[in-house]
Structure 1
Amino acid sequence: MSESTQVTSRAGAPPRGQAQAPGRRVRRQWIVAGVLLAAAIYAPFQLVPFHVFQLTMVLVYAVALLGLNVLVGHAGQISLGHGAFFAAGAYAAAIMMFHWELPYLATLPVAAAVAFLLGLVLGVPAMRLRGLYLALVTLAIAIFLVPLLKRFEEVTGGSMGLSLAKPAPPAWSGLAEDQWLYFLALAVAVAAFLLAAGLLRSRVGRALHAVRDNEIAAEVMGVRLSYYKTLAFAWSAMFAGVAGCVYTWVIGFVSPDSFPVTLSITLLAGIVVGGLGSLSGPVLGALFVMFVPSLSQDINEAAPGVIFGLLIIAVMYVAPTGLAGLAGRAANSLKKTLRKG
């Protein structure tokens, strides 16, 4: 090869460090994910049943927030009615288990499909509305959900709700009930995060990002706004429905009062605090949703809502991009310190 050819090929190729950086980043992410998964598998054997239950609920909320992250963090739409999709999945599973006595695993795909279709229908307003107008429409969905569930008493159990038997661990597993429910939630959460990661790296994910960043530019590039906005609602609802289904397995009881309007607001606060547009954001947000309200109750039983609101303000002041962004900045600072040392 001539010298000029070598120079040309070198000029056309990226520097070696830049070419390897994405590969190293991906390997690092997989290593971190593997360590976290190993810790998650190890945890239920070292904790008391109540703490195992708390971690199980963190996984449930993480799946719900994963769907909300797709809608808000990646598609740029807002929803104050995500609790309605969560409730749809929970009641779909409960009704099938209570009235039809279906196996609990069979309820998962049906709950996902019900929530997905509901998201498609309710995603229609997203085609024409945005911002506060869209937020009001989704809030209305959460508001009329509770009286609607109470109205069809023969199916939903009305105000009394439906009591269900929790999934029993197989004899071969050697697990206690709380451990078995934890591993069911962990398996669903891992599958949901892998699905979301694949979705966001695909053509659909790139289209959602284009819609989020600039709708006019996205439309000029050939992105169908109405199609992808509706699809974002449907995918978001599906993840919430899956979370609601697992919630039914874990709690063994559903009632209209389990899904108040404040649930939707809390979920939105959770994903904003956790970090929009980040795969770690739903997990951090789920930890916030699970533990901060109870912490607020312990600090002041008379006004836990005030303490909860103040804690949200404090977190957002310290971490404007969410806890995921704060963790990323802390990791970068640690790397710079180690390199200097």
Structure 2
Amino acid sequence: MSTITGILRADGARAGRTRAALIALAATVAVVGAPFYFAPFQVFQLTMVLVYAVALAGLNLLVGHGGQISLGHGAFFAAGAYTAAVMLDRFDTGHLATLPVAAAGCFLLGLGFGVPALRLRGLYLALVTLSFAVFLPLLLKRLEPWTGGSMGLTVDKPQPPAWSGLAEDQWLYFLVLAVTAFALLVARNLLRSRVGRALLAVRDHESAAEVMGVRLSLHKTLAFAWSGMFAGVAGCLYTWVIGFVSPDSFSFVLSITLLAGLVVGGLASLYGPLLGAAFVMYVPNVAQDLSEAAPGVVFGLLIIAVMYVAPAGLAGLAGRIGSAAARRLPRTRTPDGTHTARPTPSGTSATSADPTPPEAEVQAQAEPVGAPPRTEEE
């Protein structure tokens, strides 16, 4: 019987891997083929979803895994966007050269801004980060010789090479897709490293993490630095895609919208940034179509509705749907004629041929070791 059970478990694991591979292949085909199927404006929207996904991946490091609240993420986004725009407009550099400079500059900016995080937490930290998001657009307007002031800067978009045969929107899509895939891979590997485990320990219990040897000051500051770096990369991609930057495009509303998108997508989730980015991109347009007079009210009501249906975010809702579907799987018949139920949450399979009923298991667990057998009177 144990041999049959082992064979069944191996077959189930093999089937699970095959199913995951097929899903990944289908997703890859859909992502690669999207710019050839949709209209240019729809391709632009998909490209912006990828841009926001990079920004939310960085915010997820800070909020979802680091446990720190930030309402100033839009400021790092703006810093990366203006770094790329100034380099393209004032210094006439190549587009690819702006990406590492924006990433490094925002990493250093986040490193310096992470110092207040050492002594502040909760609402106080959120207020300080919000002040940064409010202050930066005003500063950009004052630096008119470099930033163009209130008029902003207009720059050229990356042009597709002749050998590619792609339109401009398609080339931008694949360019941003490559950077987004690399950024998400870096975020995934970072969370699985010692840094990611240290961030989780700090988030769950600071005192216990410090006793275990985690340097709180270092990892809190690094959380802001990594988060700022991802936001800077997203801002650089934003400049590539839009071709125009202005201070009014990066108000504090952007920071609040990014945080709302992360919460709706799912905190501390691998796919939460992607789902949250789609929410940030498409839901405001839906709110505008539903009510041109008060789109903000509709947007807020939609957020409340989503959080009521999915308290753990859209990523958590997808997991709940998958678990419910697994619980409804029909029973299968084993070679010896017994029936196997669906897999239990612990990964084992419950069979109808179990020789020990649940009551007997409970009674056997309650019996002390070495106790004499009970009689019928007992």
Instruction: Output the TM-score relative to the length of structure 2.
Output: 0.83
The aligned runs of 1:159-238 (5 Å cut-off) are 159-238=150-229
Greater RCO structure (CA 8 Å; 6+ sep): 1
The aligned runs of 1:248-287 (5 Å cut-off) are 248-287=239-278
CA drift at 1:16: 9.4
Match of 2:29?
A: 38
- Asked if 1:297 is matched to 2:288, the reply is yes
Quick one: distance in 1 between partners of 2:221 and 2:125? 13
Quick one: distance in 1 between partners of 2:25 and 2:216? 37
Quick one: distance in 2 between partners of 1:299 and 1:288? 16
Quick one: distance in 1 between partners of 2:252 and 2:140? 13
- Asked if 1:241 is matched to 2:232, the reply is yes
Inter-CA distance 115–32: structure 2 relative to 1 (3 Å threshold): farther
Match of 1:58?
A: 49
Identify which of 314, 319, 331 aligns with 2:322.
Answer: 331
Quick one: distance in 2 between partners of 1:31 and 1:89? 37
Quick one: distance in 1 between partners of 2:223 and 2:14? 29
Match of 1:94?
A: 85
Match of 1:70?
A: 61
Match of 1:319?
A: 310
- Asked if 1:139 is matched to 2:148, the reply is no
Match of 2:73?
A: 82
What amino acid maps onto 2:243 in structure 1? G
Structure 2 unaligned residues grouped into runs of 5+: 1-5, 333-378
Quick one: distance in 2 between partners of 1:261 and 1:296? 20
Quick one: distance in 1 between partners of 2:59 and 2:218? 18
Identify which of 116, 119, 133 aligns with 1:125.
Answer: 116
Quick one: distance in 1 between partners of 2:17 and 2:71? 34
CA drift at 1:24: 8.4
Instruction: Output the TM-score relative to the length of structure 1.
Output: 0.92
SS at match of 1:155: helix
CA drift at 1:339: 3.8
Structure 1 unaligned residues grouped into runs of 5+: 1-14
Larger Rg: 2
**Over the residues paired in the alignment, what is the CA RMSD in angstroms?**
2.1
Inter-CA distance 19–201: structure 2 relative to 1 (3 Å threshold): farther
Inter-CA distance 335–242: structure 2 relative to 1 (3 Å threshold): same
Aligned length: 328
CA drift at 1:105: 0.6
Quick one: distance in 2 between partners of 1:125 and 1:30? 45
Quick one: distance in 2 between partners of 1:165 and 1:66? 27
CA drift at 1:246: 0.4
CA drift at 1:35: 3.1
Quick one: distance in 2 between partners of 1:310 and 1:208? 33
- The alignment-based identity, stated in percent, is 69
Match of 2:358?
A: none
What amino acid maps onto 1:106 in structure 2? A
Deviations 1:214-245 (A, max 9, x none): 11110110100110011011001101100000
Inter-CA distance 27–234: structure 2 relative to 1 (3 Å threshold): farther
Deviations 1:56-107 (A, max 9, x none): 0000000000000011001111100000000011000000000111000110
| Most deviating of 20-29 and 164-173 | 20-29
SS at match of 1:243: helix
